[in-house]
Amino acid sequence: MSQDRAQILQMISSGEVSAEKGAQLLTALQSPQPKPEPAPTKRGHWFHVRVTDLETDRVKVNVNLPLALIGVATKMGARFSPEMEGVDWNELVNVINEGAVGKLVEVEDLEGQERVEVFVD
């Protein structure tokens, strides 16, 4: 006998609840409990690449693409951002597809005086 069932029967026998209320509690205890729905995952909608001049803090390039075009965006980023040569673009796409949101990559090229940021929101 489950601990909850025993507790309800004890409450009935001690008079804490009526037999009718106890029967309702026992019936509710036997009913399958609905599983809670998982909380919706916050997923990003936009893929951003921003290149900023480190000296002036001026944005030199600002690319905003729908996340559905992530494949195109990563190929573009790899092609036009040689300072991001060490970034594993396939891994970046995997992380984004798993629901990552926020700044994913930040690379500073001190020689070229540029900062490249990749983020999803």
Same domain, 92 and 53: yes
Same domain, 23 and 57: no
Please give the pLDDT value at position 32. 67
Same domain, 112 and 87: yes
Q: Could you tell me if residue 11 is inside a domain?
A: yes
Describe the crossing of helices 70-80 and 89-97 by its angle, rounded to 10 degrees.
150
Please, is 6 exposed, middle or buried when counting C-beta atoms within 10 Å of its C-beta (0-12, 13-18, 19+)? exposed
CA nearest neighbour of 105 among 46, 97, 120: 120
Q: In degrees to the nearest 10, what's the CA dihedral of 50, 114, 79, 88? A: -80
Q: Could you tell me if residue 61 is inside a domain?
A: yes
> What is the total count of domains within the chain?
2
Q: How far apart are CA 113 and CA 5, in angstroms?
A: 71
Structural tokens at position 95: 């992380």
Please give the pLDDT value at position 55. 92
Q: How far apart are CA 22 and CA 18, in angstroms?
A: 6
Q: How far apart are CA 59 and CA 115, in angstroms?
A: 9
Same domain, 71 and 114: yes
Q: In degrees to the nearest 10, what's the CA dihedral of 21, 26, 30, 33? A: 50
Same domain, 24 and 50: no
The model's pTM is 0.54
Domain encompassing residue 16: 1-33
Please give the pLDDT value at position 106. 86
Q: What's 35's DSSP letter? A: P
Give every residue of the chain whose pLDDT is below 50, as ranges: none
